[in-house]
Amino acid sequence: MATPIRHDLDLLHTSLLTGKLPRNLSWADTVELIGQIGEVQPHGSDEFVFVVGTQRAFFKQPHTHELDVEEVSRLRKFLREAGPTRVAGEPGQPCRMVVVIDHHAAHVYQDFNRKVPVAEDTVLPYDPFGFHHHLIHRKEAHYKGDRVPEETSFYEEVAKDLLPANEIVLIGHGTGKSSAVDSLIEYLKTHHHNISRHVIATETADLSALTEPEIEAIAKRHMIVVV
């Protein structure tokens, strides 16, 4: 029977997929994480092959024993391309996300189930779920007309954040072409069907007046709270 991934490594994996790039990421923790979710194969004296799912990549052991920013960024890209990974035999831990989105920006709230300490200013202190907040701005372009055409890279960035989620609630305003929620759902169905299956509810709200406690209330209404 496979050994379930250790909790601290599970949090590191989630952070690498969706959070801020970790600072001071040690080589030892990196090798241990990859060894838990895939394989680490020696390749020469200081180079290793990381294998997760169908993805393979070469990483060199740093002389400082910590990965620099470029290598951490490359590790994130590698893990995202490998896709969501769960060790066989590991009990399912809900990863809940709420997206508040219009055609200009998306606020992505991820539930870490209160198992990580408060980090900088990214945690919403009112929230018993322990949601972390990530803001994605859409890149605007000069355009003559009523509204800038949809930019697929915007929805792709949101999709990347939603990779580990198994419960997703979308909050927006308007309907049809005026609704960024509808546009996101269509994008997910077309390009990320596995993610779209985890959308459990959508809500329409006045985003200009929507408060953080109201976002929390919507999340609690739709999501299963694990005690």
Write the pLDDT tens digit of every residue in 162-184.
877 778 999 998 766 678 999 99
**87: pLDDT confidence band, cut at 50, 70 and 90?**
very low
* Fold of domain 96-222: Nucleotidyltransferase; domain 5 (3.30.420)
| Beta strand ranges found along the chain (DSSP E) | 39-42, 47-52, 55-60, 96-101, 105-111, 131-137, 167-172, 199-204
Q: What is the mean pLDDT of the chain?
A: 76
Q: Looking at residue 4, what is its pLDDT?
A: 64
Q: Looking at residue 46, what is its pLDDT?
A: 86
Start-end of H helices in 7-137: 7-18, 27-37, 69-82
Residue with tokens 């831990």: 93
Q: What is the distance between the terminal CA atoms of the chain, rounded to a whole angstrom?
A: 27
List all residues 6 or more positions away from 185 whose beta carbon is below 8 Å from its beta carbon: 170, 196, 199, 202
Buried b (16+ CB within 10 A) or exposed e, 145-177: eeeeebeeebbebbbbbbbbbebbbbbbbeeee
- Nearest Cα to 178, choosing from 204, 209, 216, 144? 204
Residue 77, token pair as written in the block: 């890209």
For 29-51, write each residue's pLDDT tens digit. Answer: 999 999 888 899 988 888 999 99
Dist CA 157 CA 163 (whole Å): 10
> DSSP label at 146?
S
For the chain, give every residue range classified as CATH 3.30.420.60. 96-222
Q: Which of these ranges, 57-71, 165-179, 205-219, has the smallest mean pLDDT?
A: 165-179
For 100-116, write each residue's pLDDT tens digit. Answer: 998 888 888 876 444 33
Q: Looking at residue 66, what is its pLDDT?
A: 92
Query: Which pairs with CB-CB distance under 8 Å and at least 24 residues apart come from 196-201?
Result: 198/162, 198/165, 198/166, 198/167, 198/168, 199/168, 199/169, 199/170, 200/167, 200/168, 200/169, 201/169, 201/170
**121: pLDDT confidence band, cut at 50, 70 and 90?**
very low
pTM comes to: 0.52
Q: Looking at residue 176, what is its pLDDT?
A: 65
**227: pLDDT confidence band, cut at 50, 70 and 90?**
very low
Across the range 203-210, mean pLDDT stands at 90
- Nearest Cα to 203, choosing from 164, 174, 161, 163? 174
Q: Looking at residue 122, what is its pLDDT?
A: 33
Residue 73, token pair as written in the block: 């960024």
